[in-house]
A and B are shown apart, each in its own frame.
Chain A
């Protein structure tokens, strides 16, 4: 301890004595400059190569977000709302229903569609777009086939659908909440079947026209999976001597 103080002072004394710093600068012979230059270039090349590899590493990708009016954004916004009602109905069945097969189906729909909502909300988040529809429903379906099928659905003042196809009304949801036993089994299957059918139009449109491969892939996956699930629900309804609800969209 005693000896360290003087040394520290001697260091500061040297700094303040005005002599120029050693090394780099004007004084060296020409070959020193050449070595410095080669060293600098070598260092830059090495760092450049490292940077190049970093760009190629997983997770380093990224590109521009789809526009607010795009199919990708519209689909993610509207299908989120559509899926939320399905998870609401499935949750009701999981709590109040008793049939093991329907309960298993409800468990599958509930967990699966929640995760798909996560995907769609995640996209909107990272694209910095509104998480919910901002201009009515299904306005992103503006191609030749857009809107022409909406005749049966109530429309808002702009001609856009005020409610998406297949959605259960507040009254129907109240009935579902109150139902028990076999009445609940049939009502749940009927409402969920019509709900699945209602999503087909949006999913088909997005599967064909979304800009992003990931969005087209999710939409077509939904379409195929839900079509098979719908066929299954038709079978389950028939087995219970019930018929699907009319779907006039």
Chain B
């Protein structure tokens, strides 16, 4: 049986060879396979190339050091780095969420941290100086899947942090040092473009190599210092603070620079406190309201 079958197969094979010799389907098939193979490689590489178009366009490089400026809607400002306050002193930020300027000497953890509660501005701004991108969102507008989309851009990522921001005037606001972008949707492609362009961009952030790991002795990511919605008082450091005037430092003991000063008393001038800073001070501040422009806010 076996040998009979075998010789039949040989005969069939020879017949097939004869057919191919007269009509060279084999050659055509080989050429087709070759072209298909090359076409497959081309298609694969082309797909990869297209998929990474944004990464190429928005990755900082020698030639294009700040690609964020090519993203529609991004605003940018220049700030001096290294101007520190120490809590409870505040900074009189003028735009919200703040994206630079004086800040607390303690930075907020920004090594892929998602804060579920609003965090004190002064700490968050210091993290921007360390190269982080901060995703702030409006809790009323960003929930469920949208929130999850944003969280996935942050958790475990270097130099990324995220927090809700009370009364935010857009659903999402992205901050990096000196840069801001407000968008309406968690699926907006500019979010990833902003992150690609500014996360640890060595041509943009003022302190190359600075860590996003918080100092465990001073900052607890599980219990961060809370966001303060009130207006900062007169002792807040202004945005226009000149590093020279402050010696680059305004610690708790700065009053000691002036030996004649009485630190405790001078910090609480009578009747000049902002009405919003402390409820217990309210009666006193009412007295001063007549003469000052604080009267406008009371109306």
Contacts and interface: CB of A to CB of B under 8 A. Distances in A.
Interface stretch (A34-42, A135-143, A160-168): A34-42
A35 B80 contact: no
B209 A116 contact: yes
> Which of B2, B30, B32, B248 gathers the greatest number of chain A CB atoms within 10 Å?
B248
A140 B18 CA distance: 77
A224 B206 contact: yes
Interface in B36-69: 37-39, 41-42, 44-46, 48-49, 52, 55-56, 59, 62
Given A13-B6, A107-B215, A112 B209 contact: yes
B256 A239 contact: yes
B282 interface: no
Contact of B81 (A47, A53, A217, A228): A228
Interface in A56-103: 56-58, 100-101, 103
B110 to A, nearest CB: 13
Chain A interface mostly helix, strand, loop or mixed? helix
A243 B37 CA distance: 75
Nearest to B86: A101
A127 interface: no
A118 B210 CA distance: 12
Nearest to B205: A221
Given A6-B5, A58-B55, A235-B248, A47 B27 contact: no
Interface string B241-256: 0011011111111101
A23 B42 contact: no
Interface string A19-44: 10011100111001001100110111
B10 A236 contact: no
Given A57-B56, A104-B105, A239-B253, A217 B49 contact: no
A67 B30 CA distance: 51
Contact of B82 (A101, A217, A229, A236): A229
> Which of B28, B37, B56 gathers the greatest number of chain A CB atoms within 10 Å?
B28
A10 B215 contact: no
A32 to B, nearest CB: 5
Contacts of A22: 16-17, 20-21, 26
Interface string B2-30: 11011001100110110011001111111
Contacts, number: 187
A224 B81 contact: yes
A106 to B, nearest CB: 10
A149 interface: no
B262 interface: no
A17 B10 contact: yes
Contact of B52 (A10, A14, A29, A57): A57
A238 interface: yes
B261 to A, nearest CB: 13
A217 B211 contact: no
Contacts of A214: 62, 202
Interface residues of B, number: 71
A26 B77 CA distance: 73
Nearest to B83: A228
A245 interface: no
B247 to A, nearest CB: 3
B276 interface: no
A121 interface: no
A238 B248 CA distance: 12
> Which of A7, A23, A238 gathers the greatest number of chain B CB atoms within 10 Å?
A23
A13 B56 CA distance: 57
Nearest to A230: B248
Contacts of B9: 7, 10, 14
24 contacts: A5-B2, A6-B2, A10-B5, A13-B10, A22-B20, A32-B28, A44-B38, A50-B45, A53-B45, A103-B215, A105-B105, A107-B215, A114-B209, A213-B62, A214-B62, A217-B208, A221-B202, A222-B208, A224-B81, A225-B81, A225-B207, A229-B82, A232-B248, A235-B251
Interface of B: 2-3, 5-6, 9-10, 13-14, 16-17, 20-21, 24-32, 34-35, 37-39, 41-42, 44-46, 48-49, 52, 55-56, 59, 62, 80-84, 86, 105-106, 202-203, 206-211, 213, 215, 217-218, 243-244, 246-254, 256-257
Interface of A: 5-7, 9-10, 13-14, 17, 19, 22-24, 27-29, 32, 35-36, 39-40, 42-44, 46-47, 49-50, 53-54, 56-58, 100-101, 103-105, 107-108, 111-116, 118-119, 213-214, 217-218, 221-222, 224-225, 228-236, 238-239
Given A22-B16, A44-B38, A119-B209, 10 more contacts: A40-B31, A46-B39, A101-B105, A104-B215, A112-B209, A112-B210, A214-B202, A221-B202, A229-B82, A234-B247
